Chains A and B, each alone.
Chain A
Amino acid sequence: MKRKFLFVGGLPSELMGVLRFSAFGQVEELDEAQAADAARGGCVILPADDPAAEAFTGDELKQYGSFGALRRAPADFQAKVKQARIAAAAFAAEAEAAHQAQATDQQVAGVKRG
């Protein structure tokens, strides 16, 4: 199932062959598995309907969407950025936990040959 995700990273991120996040505040539709893999891989995204994502206004994102402008943004906007990144980290941690739960790490029997 596809959902919308908001990118809140500080430099471009890419899911090679799928899409590139090249601006802060970029919204893209991704399927859940793709989004989870992206988040585990360090792509700083969170569901667009997360309260930390909804805290940004359209005007703000327009004004500070470029990475250069983002660094010069006022303190109240920076505080929203920090909250959004904390939410993105939580989303990534959930994705990591789900991934780890799948891995059973089968080991070989201790066969010892030359």
Chain B
Amino acid sequence: MANDVLRIYQRSYPQIQTAFDAIPNSAGAATVAGSDCCLIESLTTDADQAEIARTDKTGTLDAYPTQGGRRTARGQAVLSMAGNGAAGVAPDCKNYLQAAFGKAPTISAGTSVLYTLDDLLYYLAIWNFNQPNTAEQMCAFNSLINKMVVEFGGDEPKLTFGFESGWVLTPAQIGDSNTDPLAKGGLTAFPNEPASPVVNGTFPPGFQVTATLDGTAYTTLLTGRITLDIGRELRKDTNSAFPRQGVPGPRKVTVDFSLTDDDSAALTGLKVKAYDRTPVNVEFAIGTVAGNTWDWLVKNVILAKPKYGDEGIRRKVDFSGSMAYPTSVGAKDHLQLTIR
């Protein structure tokens, strides 16, 4: 009897590739290890191929069968904002973060881990393991993160990473002689999931947020979201059905947040700055425990015009769609994360 594949048995293992087309390996054997594990709430890694119809008239009412088009793949990982718990040690989702920010973190041993924006491309091999081992297993490789969403204010703060991949390798393709070698990422065998995944820490409560808006600390934050859109993409050249290289793309940082409305001078001043389009810095520090406080700093934000609504028995004010910009062109300083 077949075994159902249960959703709870899924884990992700994102590895940073050292080269395009090469899932990390040693002489063709994948080097994925328990240390690469990053728990996820959900993970999709979907390969696709366009169908190309022949447009010539056939002289009948029927068409010729379509031909296979370009190979593409997309995916998304959703996970809790779980920190390590020891200051200066990167969280389990470190490779997702590094690929999203475009730069390796600056680690101050025993103190903090700092992520800042840059233009580097990191290709990820994202292993999507399911149990039992005979269930479908996947590796989305040559993956470029093109979107990161940070959400807080609820019970569990969340991170979402969207990505485009070169292809998604499965065990069946490894043994299939008709499968293009480019689809195999340099592997000669598909590995089993590592026996002992290493998992560290937990998430800080998503409602323990210190919101500092234009220099004033607020305790009335309701919800917040930071979105980093990166126009990175895999080039669709005319020499292969598979993408052969990634290219950097423009960044866009958006912040959305809502507060309980009140008549404080500070909030009134913030609304005025929204109307005047005066840029402000906003900072959301999630958590209070050393080693698991996620401090998101968004600089030079032009606040969206405030919108009002009800939130239970109170009124709320919403600054959704506020855009952040570098303090000078090329400074790349409009979003940073310090885990301390």
Task: Point out the residues of chain B lying under 8 angstroms from A42, CB to CB.
Answer: 35, 84, 89-92, 94, 198, 200-201
Q: Is the interface of A mostly helix, strand, loop or mixed?
A: loop
Most buried by A among B36, B68, B109, B202: B109
A99-B33, A107-B22 given; A16·B197 CB < 8 A: yes
Task: Report yes or no: B198 in contact with A43, Cβ–Cβ below 8 A.
Answer: yes
Contact of A12 among B90, B186, B202 (CB under 8 A): B202
Please judge, given known A-B contacts A8-B86, A10-B289, whether A103 and B37 are in contact too, CB under 8 Å: no
The answer for the CA separation of A89 and B200 in the assembled complex, in Å, is: 15
What 1/0 mask marks residues of chain B from 27 to 38 whose CB sits below 8 Å from any chain A CB? 110010111110
Q: A93-107 toward B: CB 8 Å interface, digit per residue (1/0)?
A: 000000100111111
Interface membership of B24, Cβ < 8 A: yes
Nearest A residue to B31 via CB reads A103
Number of A residues with CB within 8 Å of any CB on chain B: 43
With an 8 A cutoff between CB atoms, is B239 at the interface?
A: yes
Counting CB contacts under 8 A, is A69 at the interface?
Answer: no
Report A15-56 residues with CB < 8 Å from chain B CB: 15-18, 34, 37-44
Q: Which of A14, A39, A114 contacts B199 (CB 8 A)?
A: A14
Which residues 213-239 of B have a CB within 8 angstroms of A? 239
- Verify if B26 is at the interface (C-beta below 8 Å from A): yes
Q: A16-B199, A41-B200 are in contact. Are A10 and B186 (CB under 8 A)?
A: no
The answer, yes or no, to whether B292 is at the interface (CB within 8 Å) is yes
B25 with A104: CB separation less than 8 A: yes
B78 — which chain A residues lie within 8 A by C-beta?
none
Which residues does chain B contribute within 8 Å of A8, judged by CB atoms?
86
The reply to whether B291 and A11 contact each other, CB–CB distance below 8 Å, is yes
The count of A-to-B residue pairs whose CB atoms sit within 8 angstroms is 162
- Residues of chain B contacted by A67 (CB below 8 angstroms): 85
Residues of A within 8 A of B14 (CB): none
Q: Select which of A37, A106, A112 is within 8 A of B182 by beta carbon.
A: A112
Q: Could you say which residues of chain A place their CB within 8 Å of the CB of B19? A: 105, 107
Q: Is the CB of A15 within 8 A of B34?
A: yes
Pairwise interchain contact A102-B31, C-beta atoms closer than 8 A: yes
CA distance A51 to B8 in the complex (A): 42
Q: How far is the CA of A109 from the CA of B196 in the complex (A)?
A: 33
Are A85 and B89 in contact (CB-based, < 8 A)?
A: yes
Considering the chains assembled together, what is the distance between the CA atoms of A111 and B28 in angstroms? 17
Given A15-B198, A16-B197, are A108 and B291 neighbors across the interface (CB < 8 Å)? no
Chain A residues near B (Cβ < 8 Å): 8-18, 34, 37-44, 67, 71, 81-83, 85-86, 88-89, 99, 102-114
